[in-house]
Amino acid sequence: MSGITSFKGTRLYMILGGFFVANALIAEFMGVKIFSLEQTAGFESVNWNILGEARSLQLTAGVLLWPVVFVLTDLINEYFGPKGVRFLSNGTIMLIIYSFLMIFAAIGLSPAEWWVGSQAKNGVPDMQLAYRAIFGQGLWIIVGSIIAFFVGQILDVYVFRAIKRATGEKYLWIRATGSTLVSQLIDSFVVLYIAFGIGADWSANQIISIGIVNYIYKFSVAILLTPVLYWVHLLIDAYLGEETAKQLKEEAMK
């Protein structure tokens, strides 16, 4: 794998990879919560009419972290190339599958009688049902999120590299933002189609209208994160040193 030979390169890969895997795993389990972006920000809900569907900015909590995952993808791609991203992506998918298997195993355990009603005074009469409802995501949701993640990562990597080959080291914001916008566009609709189009018989209008709202949010966050990307890029270059940073980037493009 290119760029892993030096000590600083190895440590950088471990740091970026650690955040990459952690964010992806946490986003999977956070995603079960649906929140109102307008009300969270202190505004009244705005109902947009999209394809005949009234939609407000109600999003899964996972969208807080997925843009970060794709920014990390671009950073890893910049310094370690497609092989570096592919290794982490494949490993993350295996860890997500493993995590859900362990969660389903935990759900199947017989609960202690005292634990079931332990939170009744806090409005949760049955902890076993609550545990199952929160962690026991449907099979199609799991399949959809994994496939969308895999496809999104592939697109992000190759769009990023295509733009970089065309522009060279200039215009970091174009290759980072451009690759994220393309990958998030596909990701937003793939997960909805598999999880709810196949898994819950949603109509095409429902999938498209919700997908558009999700994509608008991701589009906005990707643009807002551009200054952060430049800042992190400068920190990494300063940490690696000019010569090592240049060497890693050259190896990543091979």
Q: How far apart are CA 221 and CA 178, in angstroms?
A: 13
More confident residue, 45 or 108: 108
Asked, for residue 115, whether it belongs to a domain, the answer is: no
More confident residue, 51 or 90: 90
Asked, for residue 117, whether it belongs to a domain, the answer is: no
> Cβ distance 7 to 252 under 8 Å?
no
Q: What is the pTM of this model?
A: 0.84
Asked, for residue 118, whether it belongs to a domain, the answer is: no
Quick one: CA dihedral 247, 249, 252, 254, positive or negative? negative
> Cβ distance 63 to 147 under 8 Å?
no
Give the CA angle between residues 57, 202, 198 to the nearest 5°: 120
Tokens linked to 8: 């600083």
Total count of domains within the chain:
1
Question: Domain of 157?
Answer: 7-108+125-252
Please check the confidence at residue 4 and state whether its pLDDT lies above 70. no
End-to-end CA distance of the chain: 11
| Tens-digit pLDDT profile for residues 200-239 | 777 888 788 778 888 888 888 888 888 888 899 899 999 9
Q: What is the DSSP string of the chain?
A: -TT-SSHHHHHHHHHHHHHHHHHHHHHHHHTT-EEEHHHHTT-----EEETTEEE--EEEGGGGTHHHHHHHHHHHHHHHHHHHHHHHHHHHHHHHHHHHHHHHHHHHSPPPHHHHTTTGGGT-S-HHHHHHHHH---HHHHHHHHHHHHHHHHHHHHHHHHHHHHHTTS-HHHHHHHHHHHHHHHHHHHHHIIIIIITS---HHHHHHHHHHHHHHHHHHHHHTHHHHHHHHHHHHHHH-HHHHHHHHHHHT-
192 C-beta neighbours (distance < 10 Å), count: 22
Asked, for residue 119, whether it belongs to a domain, the answer is: no
Please check the confidence at residue 102 and state whether its pLDDT lies above 70. yes
**The predicted structure's pLDDT at residue 2:** 47
| Tens-digit pLDDT profile for residues 142-191 | 888 889 888 988 888 888 888 888 887 777 778 888 888 888 888 888 88
Asked, for residue 114, whether it belongs to a domain, the answer is: no
Asked, for residue 156, whether it belongs to a domain, the answer is: yes
In which band, very low, low, confident or very high, does the pLDDT at 113 lie, cut at 50, 70 and 90? very high
Share of the chain above pLDDT 90, in %: 30
Asked, for residue 172, whether it belongs to a domain, the answer is: yes
